């Protein structure tokens, strides 16, 4: 019987990525590729994929479970499942390699949300003109990180007050209105940008990379400050990297304790809740639909989950917050003493 021939785990992962490149965003491919490479290293990159056993996969995920939080572990499992499903469709794998690898229970917690005052104050916690403009843009649009870093100079129309955006998850374009605060921040940023890089070009990145700068950070138990920091020159044709770190530095300077996963999405979540709270007085359904439009959600139920909202919770909060509770339920004229009888 001829020996069975299938690609190695590494080669199969590479083919999977090449196939998806036509319909998956570059940022998603990059994130998935780091996980797939780790999986290939753990299983054995040169092992033919049909020789991979359930036990090998189970042991790899057992190690992941020790170092990952349940939510992160489940995301890893989803990405590996996508790859193994692809290998099954190719006929390379016939076993259910994830048959005994279950998702982990995730304890839902309230994520960090900044108040409108904190959002307005946040840009003051950076000395970088680029980073300040980035923060203000995020706080006035609720765009995702990849949508923000993909913006070009040509997307900004200050004369008419519009920002052209590509919404990656829905593969749609949208014109977002430029607020007063955003208009001022972008005009200031363009002035700095032009002084650094020369006359602005339409296809330049709105928030480009910088060359490495000089200087250092001074950190103490409460704040992070810059000491003599000299920023490197802008690289207009290169897209900015690590936007989450920009947000995290500002949040830390503002006095917040940062947990893993906080970043641009923290601002998106905060802006969405602030917008909903500002609009809900005119009606719950209308405020929810508007917030869905702000977030570019196609389903209002998704927005409710995202904001941690239900009409029942809103009713509960209104009935209890700042109100009397048990005492309001007791008629003072009918209080029965529980003391000892004579």
- Show the 3-state SS of 193-217: HHHHHCCCCCCCECCEEECCCEEEE
The residue-averaged pLDDT of 165-169 equals 85
Same domain, yes or no, for 36 and 134? Answer: no
**What is the per-residue pLDDT for 250?**
95
The answer as to whether 104 is a domain residue is no
**pLDDT tens per residue across span 258-308:** 887 889 999 999 999 999 999 988 888 899 999 999 999 988 888 888 887
Same domain, yes or no, for 141 and 226? Answer: yes
* Whether the model pTM is above 0.75: no
**What is the per-residue pLDDT for 190?**
97
Total domain count, the chain: 3
Same domain, yes or no, for 254 and 274? Answer: no
Contacts (Cβ under 8 Å, ≥6 apart) of 71? 106
Same domain, yes or no, for 85 and 157? Answer: no
The answer as to whether 98 is a domain residue is no
**What is the per-residue pLDDT for 216?**
47
**pLDDT tens per residue across span 67-125:** 988 988 999 999 999 999 999 999 999 999 999 999 998 776 667 889 999 999 999 99
Q: Say how far apart CA 119 and CA 83 lie, in whole Å.
A: 39
**What is the per-residue pLDDT for 215?**
45
Strand ranges (DSSP E) for 118-223? 156-157, 162-167, 172-177, 208-210, 214-219
**CATH number, domain containing residue 150:** 1.10.443.10
The answer as to whether 328 is a domain residue is no
Same domain, yes or no, for 120 and 224? Answer: yes
The answer as to whether 173 is a domain residue is yes
Same domain, yes or no, for 240 and 185? Answer: yes
Same domain, yes or no, for 197 and 311? Answer: no
For helices 284-295 and 264-279, the axis angle rounded to 10 degrees is 150
Give the three-state DSSP class for 127.
coil
The answer as to whether 174 is a domain residue is yes
**pLDDT tens per residue across span 35-76:** 999 999 999 999 999 999 999 999 999 999 999 889 889 999
The answer as to whether 211 is a domain residue is yes
Asked if 185 contacts 158 with a C-beta cutoff of 8 angstroms, the reply is no
Same domain, yes or no, for 250 and 134? Answer: yes
Q: Say how far apart CA 61 and CA 77 lie, in whole Å.
A: 8
Other Cβ atoms less than 10 A from the Cβ of 165: the count is 20
* Domain end position, chosen among 54, 89, 124: 89
Across the chain, mean pLDDT equals 87
Same domain, yes or no, for 43 and 133? Answer: no
Q: Say how far apart CA 272 and CA 275 lie, in whole Å.
A: 5
**CATH number, domain containing residue 49:** 1.10.150
What is the token pair recorded at 306? 């995202």
Same domain, yes or no, for 210 and 232? Answer: yes
* Domain end position, chosen among 37, 54, 89: 89
Same domain, yes or no, for 252 and 133? Answer: yes
Which range of residues forms the domain containing residue 305? 270-320
Give yes or no for residue 340 having a pLDDT over 70.
no
Q: How many distinct helices (H) and strands (E) make up the chain?
A: 14, 7
Same domain, yes or no, for 167 and 251? Answer: yes
The answer as to whether 132 is a domain residue is yes
Q: Say how far apart CA 224 and CA 338 lie, in whole Å.
A: 58
- Can you say how many angstroms the Cα of residue 285 is from the centroid of all Cα atoms in its chain? 25
- 106 phi/psi in degrees, rounded to 5: -110, 125
* Domain end position, chosen among 208, 231, 258: 258
The answer as to whether 338 is a domain residue is no
CA distance to 132, 203, 246, per residue, from 188 (Å): 10, 19, 19
């Amino acid at each position: 019987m001829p020996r069975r021939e299938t690609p190695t785990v590494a080669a199969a992962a590479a083919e999977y990525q090449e196939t998806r490149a036509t319909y998956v965003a570059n940022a998603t491919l990059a994130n998935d590729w780091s996980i797939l490479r780790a999986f290939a290293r753990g299983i054995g990159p040169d092992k033919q994929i049909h020789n991979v056993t359930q036990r090998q996969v189970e042991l790899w995920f057992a190690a992941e479970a020790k170092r990952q939080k349940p939510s992160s572990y489940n995301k890893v499992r989803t990405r590996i499942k996508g790859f193994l499903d692809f290998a099954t469709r190719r006929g390379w794998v016939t076993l259910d390699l994830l048959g005994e690898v279950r998702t982990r229970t995730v304890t839902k917690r309230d994520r960090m949300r900044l108040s409108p005052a904190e959002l307005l104050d946040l840009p003051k916690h950076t000395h970088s003109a680029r980073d300040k403009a980035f923060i203000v843009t995020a706080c006035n649009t609720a765009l995702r990180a990849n949508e923000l870093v993909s913006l070009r100079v040509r997307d900004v129309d200050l004369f008419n007050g519009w920002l052209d955006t590509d919404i990656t998850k829905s593969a749609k374009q949208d014109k977002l209105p430029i607020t007063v605060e955003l208009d001022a921040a972008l005009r200031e940023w363009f002035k700095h940008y032009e002084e650094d890089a020369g006359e602005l070009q339409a296809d330049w990145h709105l928030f480009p990379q910088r060359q490495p700068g000089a200087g250092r950070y001074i950190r103490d138990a409460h704040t992070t400050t810059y000491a003599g920091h000299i920023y490197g020159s802008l690289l207009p044709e290169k897209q900015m990297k690590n936007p989450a770190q920009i947000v995290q530095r500002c949040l830390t300077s503002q006095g917040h304790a940062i947990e893993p996963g906080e970043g641009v999405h923290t601002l998106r979540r905060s802006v969405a809740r602030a917008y909903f709270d500002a609009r809900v007085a005119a009606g719950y359904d209308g405020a929810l639909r508007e917030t869905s439009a702000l977030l570019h959600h196609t389903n209002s139920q998704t927005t409710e989950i995202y904001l941690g909202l239900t009409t029942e919770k809103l009713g509960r909060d209104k009935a209890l917050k700042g109100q009397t509770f048990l005492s309001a339920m007791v008629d003072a004229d009918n209080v029965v003493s529980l003391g000892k009888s004579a």
